[in-house]
Amino acid sequence: MNLQQIETFVRVAEAGSFSKAAVLLDVAQPALSRQVRALEMELRETLLIRTGRGVQPTDAGRRLLEHGHAILQRVALAKEDLGALRDEPVGRITVGLPPSMARCLTLPLVEGFTRAMPKARLALVEGFSINIAEWLATGRIDLGLAYTPEPHPQIEITPVLQEDLCLIGPADQLAGRSSVPFRRLESFPLIMPQRGQIFRKLMEAQAALSQVKLDVVWEVSSVPAILDLVRCGRGFAALTGSAMRGDAVGGALQQPELVSVPITRPRIVSTLCLVQSAKKKSTPLVRRTAELLRTLSVQVCTQTPTLEN
C-alpha cells in the first residue's frame, strides 16, 4: 500500500466515477483502475462496486475512505508544516462552496489561487451549508463558505457579509415591484431546497412567527435547477442575489428574463461565513486561501448583477 494508491482510491470514491477522477487527477483512467485493483488485492477486499452510473464504495471501501481522508490530511499537514518554516503556502487544500456561490466564485478563486500560491494544490467541492459544516467537522474539507452555520466546537466561524433573501421570478410577473412583503409570499408557489437547507430554515422560521403558510410546490436540491424551473414558469424562488449572479456567470441565461425583488417586512437576512477547523493548526496555505476566499466573496456579492433587477 502506498500514498498514490490511497489518494487514487479516495478521489475515485469521492467522484463516484473513474472517468471523473481521471479528469481531476489528470491521469489516464486505466492507470487509476490498476491502482485501485492493486490496493484491493493487497487488502483482500473489494473496495468499489461498479454501477450503471459509476462506482460506489463497499462497506470495506467506506471504512478505508475514512482512513484515507485522515492519512492524506496528515501528509498534507506535514508538507504544510515544513512549508511554514519558510512561511510558504504549499500542500493541498480542499475548499467547500455553497451552490449559490459556486458558479460565480469558482473561476476567480482558481485564477487567484494559481497566481498567489503556485506551489500549492486546490480542490473544490460543492454542497449546501449544512453539508459543508459536516464535511469540515469530519475533515473532508479544510476551509469553506457557509450561510448562517450553527455553532460547533470543532468549527471556527468568521462572518464575511450579510445577504438578503429575494423573491426570484419571471420579469413579467414581478414587473413594477420594488419589494415583496413577507406576508404576501402566501400567494406565490415556491420552489425551495429540501428541509434543513439554511434558506429554507430561515423562511420557515419567519413563516411560523408571522403565521404565514408558504406554498412549497417543488423541493429541488440544486440552485441552477431551481432557477431553470423558475425560468420555465414552474414557480418562484427565495434565494440570495449571488445565486442570480452565478446563474448569469454560468451562461444559463441568454436573456435577462428573471428578476429579483427583496423580501421585506421583515427582511430575511443570511450571513455568509468563512468556516475552518478550530482544532487544526493554521498554516500559510490555510491563511492565504482564507484571505483570498474572503476578499473574492465580498467582491462577488457586492458587484452589480448582470441581470435586470
User: Of how many residues is the chain composed?
Assistant: 309
Angle 308-238-295 from CA coordinates, rounded to 5°:
70
DSSP for 111-122? HHHHHH-TTEEE
* Amino acid letter for position 17: S
**Residue 243: per-residue pLDDT:** 79
**Residue 308: per-residue pLDDT:** 33
Say if residues 144 and 282 touch (Cβ distance below 8 Å): no
Say if residues 98 and 141 touch (Cβ distance below 8 Å): no
Q: Write out the three cell numbers for 40.
A: 484491493
Q: Where are the domains of the chain?
A: 1-80, 162-271
Sign of dihedral through CA atoms 12, 15, 20, 25? negative
**Residue 34: per-residue pLDDT:** 93
Between CA 197 and CA 131 the distance in angstroms is 9
**Residue 201: per-residue pLDDT:** 92
- The owner of cell 427582511 is 267
User: What burial class does residue 115 get, using C-beta atoms within 10 Å of its C-beta: 0-12 exposed, 13-18 middle, 19+ buried?
Assistant: exposed
Q: Which of 202, 240, 199 is nearest to 220 (CA)?
A: 199
Say if residues 11 and 55 touch (Cβ distance below 8 Å): no
Longest Cα–Cα distance of the chain, Å, equals 67
235: left (phi over 0), alpha (psi -120 to 50) or beta: left
pLDDT digits (tens, 9 = 90+) for 227-236: 999 998 999 9
**Residue 305: per-residue pLDDT:** 44
Helices 99-116 and 223-231 sit at what angle, rounded to 10 degrees?
A: 130
Torsion of CA 208, 214, 219, 222, to 10 degrees: -80
Between CA 64 and CA 86 the distance in angstroms is 34
Give the CATH number of domain 1-80. 1.10.10.10
Q: Which of 45, 48, 50, 34 is nearest to 2 (CA)?
A: 34
Between CA 243 and CA 234 the distance in angstroms is 18
**Residue 248: per-residue pLDDT:** 54
Between CA 105 and CA 124 the distance in angstroms is 11
Element (H, E) at 75: helix 59-84
Between CA 202 and CA 196 the distance in angstroms is 10
- pTM (2 decimals)? 0.68
Between CA 201 and CA 209 the distance in angstroms is 12
Which segments in the chain show pLDDT lower than 50? 250-256, 304-309
Q: Which CATH number fits domain 162-271: 3.40.190.290, 3.40.920.10, 3.30.497.10, 3.40.50.300?
A: 3.40.190.290
Q: Write out the three cell numbers for 5.
A: 494508491
